[in-house]
Amino acid sequence: MLSNFFLTDERSISGSAVLSETFRFGIALCAVVGDEIEGYHSVGGSLFTLYQSALGQFDFSPFQTLDTGKRFVAQTLLGVFLLVSIVVLVNLLVAMMADTYTKVQDRSQKEFLCGWSELTWEIHQETNTLPPPFNLIVYALALPYILLRSCQDYANEISKKPAPKMTSVRGKPLPAIIEQRLSMSMPGSIVAMETISPEWICGFCWTVNALRSSYENRM
């Protein structure tokens, strides 16, 4: 299980080799200096000390109290272990990074297509436009509608604009003309009349556009 945990790919160093080398160096140091230096009295203590040394917490000063032969062997074993552990850890890190890069590279095309589809969906939801080149069709169809709408708005503005008001016709004031025509059309009648500002006057009969209301003859 541990070897499968540390194993990253076929080209990397397996975790079983790392563990086996650690056990070997731990047993060797325990056998050489276990009875003289604290930390190497047992195999478990020796493995823990080597683990701390691999993390950078190593010290060669305790070996100075040993004999020349034991000191040389102990320092050599610890130095070789540190060198091997550094190389193995660096290779293991490189192998893990290479394996991760390989996995990402294998699925990069899928990731790209997925990201592109998400971006397209977001743009479509925000703007409600078709993707190119189909958006040109929408613009081509919308141009006549925009022109017709502009013409309609312009026509509405023209129709709402009041016509110029006239205050006299042939030199006579408009109220007098209105009174004269009303009197001629309804002789002998009592007429109540309301006039508003005329908007147009007929050029043929000179009829004034006015608001009028008539009542029955009073008895």
Instruction: Report the first-to-last Cα separation within the chain, whole angstroms.
Output: 124
Do 175 and 195 touch, CB atoms closer than 8 A? yes
- How much of the chain exceeds pLDDT 90, in percent? 0
Q: Looking at per-residue confidence, does 7 or 153 come out higher? A: 153
3-state percent helix, strand, coil for the chain, nearest multiple of 5: 65, 5, 35
Cα gap 10→7, rounded to integer Å: 8
Would you state the structure tokens that stand for residue 45, as one six-digit string? 């203590």
For 105-109, 113-117, 187-191, which range has the lowest pLDDT when averaged over its residues?
A: 187-191
Task: Tell me what pLDDT residue 85 has.
Answer: 78
Task: Tell me what pLDDT residue 194 has.
Answer: 42
Q: What is the mean pLDDT of the chain?
A: 68
Query: What DSSP state is assigned to residue 34?
Result: T
Across the range 172-176, mean pLDDT stands at 51
Across the range 167-184, mean pLDDT stands at 50
What pTM does this model have?
A: 0.38
Across the range 196-215, mean pLDDT stands at 44
For 2-6, 78-82, 173-177, which range has the lowest pLDDT when averaged over its residues?
A: 2-6
Q: Looking at per-residue confidence, does 206 or 89 come out higher? A: 89
For 11-20, 127-136, 142-151, which range has the lowest pLDDT when averaged over its residues?
A: 11-20
Task: Tell me what pLDDT residue 22 has.
Answer: 78
pLDDT in tens, 22-76: 788 888 888 888 777 777 777 787 878 777 777 777 777 777 777 777 778 888 8
